[in-house]
Amino acid sequence: MKKIFLLAGACGMLSCLAAEPRNVPELMTTAKGEKVASVEQWEKVRAPELLATFTREVYGRRVVERPPQLSFERAEPDEVMMDGKALRKRIRVNYGGKYGKGTFVFTAFIPRQARPAPAFVLICNRKAADNIDPTRARKSDFWPAERIVERGYAAIAFWNGDIAPDWNTGNREGVFACFEAPGARKGTHLWGTLSAWAWGASRVMDWIETEPLLDAKHVGVVGHSRGGKTALVAGVYDTRFAMSCSNDSGCGGAKLNHMDLPDSEHIARIVRVFPYWFAQNFIEWANLEEKLPFDQHQFVALLAPRLVAIASASEDAWAGPEGEYWSGRLASPAWELYGKKGLVSDGFPGADKPLQEGCISYHMRTGKHNLTSYDWDRYLDFADRHGWRGE
């Protein structure tokens, strides 16, 4: 792959090798070659064009959004927990389609306060019993639910594997099996598993809209790694999410493919190991990064004018921190169309120097590939900053 690097200032291990992306596909030029100069042109022409591209080439076409057969019930009685600070709800989502029925249970810890609480929905891609334990006997920094509640937000979580297993089942399991005829995927660009997990987050959102203790206008969706890719997908395909938090999402998430970051994951590798995460068309783009006519800054831009938080970790070269940062930078013109600021920054920041001035937050935490309370605190700060607690 051709390397066109610009050496930037020598500050910090990653930034002294900092590259600037080159030959990145245009964000603000339509397929017909017109410059996008208004919100109307963006919303009517350019954004739909990009959404169609990402649906066809990367994440796949969903065969269902909110299914007609959808209901919620209490999986367990509500319980006051966390020393009286939270009301726990365990909700079972039941859904059905032409080919079968599905169900999953999620947990919500809602702060006991007078006004409806803003919320964060975690798409948990790690072992549920250890990381999103509804009894709180096991606590994990991956989902610091007590801390989230203490800061005035509801902590909601579900396990991605309950929506669709994280392996290639064709369409024999999970949500796919309810809505697709057996064998229907051949030669199509139907949704991959990332899109299916994001669909699960939207069903949780369906419930949030029915729950008077929650403020459905201020709900963020959070995910780490494969979940971080999913959090972007969730926000792009469901505009009810007011914030998408994409933690260490890398290739297929926030990382720009056009940046040649040799230690990071590339398309050839991700589609070899995880072909089922994506539309089958994405496989064809292996080793063609330089020729890709689209890139992830355009996908991030589809979240405008809502809030986006992109996070990296300093020892997570596999996810490509600079590539994650740059998709935020290059997505920013979409926010500017709305008279807002995107990612306000004059260069790739060092570790633990969060950038939160505009509507795109970026931070790189010192440490390894992980979601920690440091990251959560940045997401909560960002929501506070935008008045989510109504103060």
User: Please, what is the minimum distance in Å from the beta carbon of residue 216 to ligand GTR?
Assistant: 28
Closer by beta carbon to ligand GTR, 270 or else 304: 270
User: Please, what is the minimum distance in Å from the beta carbon of residue 319 to ligand GTR?
Assistant: 7
User: Please, what is the minimum distance in Å from the beta carbon of residue 277 to ligand GTR?
Assistant: 8
Spatial separation of the C-alpha atoms in residues 189 and 145, rounded to whole Å:
37
Tokens of 86: 């939270």
Amino acid at 183: G
Closer by beta carbon to ligand GTR, 270 or else 313: 270
Closer by beta carbon to ligand GTR, 88 or else 226: 226
Closer by beta carbon to ligand GTR, 64 or else 283: 283
User: Please, what is the minimum distance in Å from the beta carbon of residue 368 to ligand GTR?
Assistant: 11
User: Please, what is the minimum distance in Å from the beta carbon of residue 148 to ligand GTR?
Assistant: 22
Q: Is 320 in the site for ligand GTR (CB under 6 A)?
A: no
Helix (H, G, I), strand (E, B) or coil at 18: coil
Site for ligand GTR in 155-194 (CB under 6 A): none
Q: Is 124 in the site for ligand GTR (CB under 6 A)?
A: no
Closer by beta carbon to ligand GTR, 15 or else 246: 246
Listed in sequence order, the residues at least 6 apart from 335 whose beta carbon sits closer than 8 Å to its beta carbon are 304, 305, 341, 342, 358, 359, 360
Closer by beta carbon to ligand GTR, 124 or else 216: 124
Listed in sequence order, the residues at least 6 apart from 96 whose beta carbon sits closer than 8 Å to its beta carbon are 67, 69, 102, 178
Return the closest-CA partner of residue 18 out of 325, 367, 328, 309. 325
* Distances 104 to 94, 167, 170, 255, 386 between C-alpha atoms, Å: 7, 18, 20, 31, 32
Closer by beta carbon to ligand GTR, 102 or else 227: 227
Spatial separation of the C-alpha atoms in residues 283 and 193, rounded to whole Å:
14
Q: Is 226 in the site for ligand GTR (CB under 6 A)?
A: yes
Closer by beta carbon to ligand GTR, 225 or else 298: 225
In this chain, which residue has its C-beta nearest to ligand GTR? 225
Among positions 91, 270, 330, 359, the unique one binding ligand GTR when judged by CB under 6 A = 270
What is the total count of residues that contact ligand GTR (CB under 6 A)?
A: 7
Return the closest-CA partner of residue 72 out of 195, 171, 214, 278. 214
User: Please, what is the minimum distance in Å from the beta carbon of residue 233 to ligand GTR?
Assistant: 13
User: Please, what is the minimum distance in Å from the beta carbon of residue 253 to ligand GTR?
Assistant: 8
Among positions 251, 308, 343, 351, the unique one binding ligand GTR when judged by CB under 6 A = 251
Among positions 171, 225, 332, 370, the unique one binding ligand GTR when judged by CB under 6 A = 225
Spatial separation of the C-alpha atoms in residues 170 and 365, rounded to whole Å:
37
Q: Is 144 in the site for ligand GTR (CB under 6 A)?
A: no
Q: How far is CA 136 from the centre of its chain?
A: 25
Listed in sequence order, the residues at least 6 apart from 231 whose beta carbon sits closer than 8 Å to its beta carbon are 123, 198, 201, 221, 222, 223, 244, 245, 246, 247, 249
Spatial separation of the C-alpha atoms in residues 29 and 97, rounded to whole Å:
39
Q: For residue 101, list its beta bridge partners.
A: 96
Q: Is 310 in the site for ligand GTR (CB under 6 A)?
A: no
Q: Is 255 in the site for ligand GTR (CB under 6 A)?
A: no
Closer by beta carbon to ligand GTR, 265 or else 375: 265
Spatial separation of the C-alpha atoms in residues 220 and 280, rounded to whole Å:
29
Among positions 67, 118, 192, 250, the unique one binding ligand GTR when judged by CB under 6 A = 250
Sheet harboring 154-159: ordered strands across?
69-81, 86-97, 100-111, 154-159, 117-124, 214-224, 243-247, 307-313, 360-365
Return the closest-CA partner of residue 198 out of 181, 218, 222. 222
User: Please, what is the minimum distance in Å from the beta carbon of residue 247 to ligand GTR?
Assistant: 10
**Burial of 343 by CB count in 10 Å (0-12 exposed, 13-18 middle, 19+ buried)?**
buried
User: Please, what is the minimum distance in Å from the beta carbon of residue 67 to ligand GTR?
Assistant: 27
Closer by beta carbon to ligand GTR, 123 or else 251: 251
Tokens 């740059």 locate to 326
Q: Is 265 in the site for ligand GTR (CB under 6 A)?
A: yes
Query: Residues interacting with ligand GTR, by CB under 6 A?
Result: 125, 225-226, 250-251, 265, 270
